[in-house]
Amino acid sequence: MRRLREGIDPDLSVRATQMITPEQSRAARGLMNWSQTELAVKAGISLSTVRDIETSRRMPNSTNRAAILRAFEDSRVEFIEGGVRRNSAASKNNDGK
């Protein structure tokens, strides 16, 4: 994974501005068969944060949003307008297999 000297993901600014809806988060978890606890662990955020975001209790801040997106993207989940999907192209190796 690419990192800046300060240890910050260089794609953070892009992820921080990408919106994710509570419905998309739940759908992505369903696609991966993850519990809220598993998402929290993979994203490095608290379970209460995941719960609050998915129930619309609060909007995620840019850091939490980026962490959630990164966790799903690392598992090849792609966020598209109005939903999510598995990014099968990302699972292929360089020779297309």
Where do the domains of the chain lie, and which CATH numbers do they carry?
Answer: 12-84 (1.10.260.40)
Distance CA 89, CA 40 (A): 26
Give the list of residues 6+ apart from residue 26 with CB closer than 8 angstroms, or none. 54
**pTM to 2 decimal places:** 0.74
pLDDT tens digits along 17-75? 578 899 999 999 999 999 999 999 999 999 999 999 999 999 989 999 999 999 999 99
Task: Of 65, 71, 16, give the one whose Cα is nearest residue 43.
Answer: 71
pLDDT reported for residue 89: 66
DSSP reduced 3-state for 1: coil
pLDDT reported for residue 49: 97
Determine which helix (DSSP H) or strand (DSSP E) holds 29, and give its type and residue range: helix 22-32
Higher per-residue confidence, 71 vs 8:
71
